[in-house]
Structure 1
């Protein structure tokens, strides 16, 4: 089973991604990378569907860190093993506060240029302990998202995570 903790904007689009990951068999817990973009109605709908969401609009920094901390371990005590990150928030959090959990991690995907800059610093200082996919450098991101601005990096992430072919592959 794929277990993930995600720190991306909590919007309708990421809500669909969360539901998709769950339908594909992932165990997902979520906190938001940006409390200003959190859509409370999306969070409420996901919680109603049994998904652990720790995010609300306008949470302060202390609350944001509390939310992230709540999602490190699943209810059965199992730690996260994958991260979908935005801005290297969770990656830094894990490496600084829970470095012993990096051995359980299969990988990280980073969504932003700012995050990849932070990852390069960790890597150059020999402190990055988990493999990372830089979503900004994916072909799908440059061919679709950068051109159309429609978030097609999500498709690339799901394809990589599930090894599923899409109509774009034919």
Structure 2
């Protein structure tokens, strides 16, 4: 596991961002229609799962903030000259993730079969984030297998277990 951001401040700011994002998710999930008139229970309401995920994001953001705060205090107790500059928040990996996610959810989903779009998304993501020293043939095979397997499992589970019609 990595040690976190390069500075205690980056952990504090990043954690605050995640707490804010989780709070936004919880707030929006509470605003969703609860469908009580249709007999929905707490566990079948549309906002239940997003609310739980938002709460977990808030907790993990708070843990990140606590780690940054603790590291900041220990850095003050033991002064060490640190001339390393923290990487900018928007680095290459975040930009690639954002572009792939927007392409998947915003441009392709709904315009092509779900199973195909999901397989392509997972394969591209896996291929782009595989270790750079991995041979391209192995990287490609692993990406195709991951994409196909993920797409198949997600499609089957959503269509036949959760009875959700996929685009």
- Report the TM-score when normalising by structure 2: 0.27
Larger Rg: 2
| TM-score with structure 1 setting the length | 0.26
Higher strand share: 1
Q: More relative contact order in 1 or in 2 (CA 8 Å, sep 6+)?
A: 2
Which structure shows the bigger proportion of residues in helix conformation?
2
